[in-house]
Amino acid sequence: MGQGMCAGIRDAANLACKLALCARCVAGEALLDSYQAERMPHARAYIETAIRLGGLINTMGTGKALDAAFSQSDGSTRMESISPRLGPGFAAGSDEHIGRLFPQPRLSNGLLMDNFCGYGPVLLAQDDMLEAAGDLPIPALTAQNEPAVAACLEDLGTKAVLVRPDRYVLGSAATQDALKSLLARAQTSPLASRVPA
């Protein structure tokens, strides 16, 4: 699976954003408490899967091990990549997309989303959703201008997604009112200049 280093990078991204927001006095120290609550269930899912795979690799009875580790309700055996969500923590609302790792779409200018938007939150939305948003304190990518954004929103079955700096979904919205509530939870970039005390 090769997830040890990946989990470490995700840990660092999660904590770095929170530390930066707290150091800038944009968020209170309570935000730091969400680190363990978010990351532990996520890391545990990868560890448990790695243990099951290790048992499969180290067994003489491969067929029995496959059946035990990856049997489906229809009797077939299938292994799927996992993509666990973050545990409860810094999120907005309770929709089904919260805590999911967001893909890294390639934009029409050839850049990956991170290279274009930088290290901070980003809103991806259908154009009609942005009409109600007003002036945004964060970058926004629209489905009309970016086919990759349109595809991501279609895959999720929603009209807007607010992605955190660590590239997990903070929340999604299907209506303009829900988007307004979601944007109220948006933080500025952790790399913005320090707020005076």
Residue spans per domain, the chain = 3-70, 91-197
Q: What is the pLDDT averaged over residues 125-140?
A: 82
Task: Please check the confidence at residue 196 and state whether its pLDDT lies above 70.
Answer: no
| DSSP 8-state code for residue 31 | G
3-state secondary structure of 144: coil
Instruction: Give pTM, 2 decimals.
Output: 0.71
pLDDT for the residue 197: 39
| Cβ-contact 98, 91 below 8 angstroms | yes
pLDDT given at position 62: 60
What CATH architecture applies to the domain 91-197? 3-Layer(aba) Sandwich (3.40)
Of 185, 157, 2, the C-alpha closest to 82 is 2
Tell me if 166 sits within 8 A of 13, measured CB to CB: yes
Token pair listed for 26: 């944009």
Other C-beta atoms lying within 10 Å of the C-beta of residue 172:
26
Asked whether 195 and 187 are in contact (CB, 8 A), the reply is no
User: Does the pLDDT value for residue 77 go beyond 70?
Assistant: no
Q: What percent of the chain has pLDDT over 90?
A: 15
Q: Which of 97-111, 131-145, 183-197 has the highest average model confidence (pLDDT)?
A: 97-111
| 195 has a pLDDT exceeding 90 | no
Per-residue pLDDT averaged across 193-197, rounded? 43
Please say whether the dihedral angle defined by the alpha carbons of residues 109, 113, 118 and 120, taken in this order, is positive or negative.
Answer: positive
Dump pLDDT digits (tens) for 36-64: 877 787 778 777 877 777 766 666 666 66
pLDDT in tens, 138-169: 888 988 889 999 999 999 999 999 998 888 88
Higher per-residue pLDDT: 76 or 30 = 30
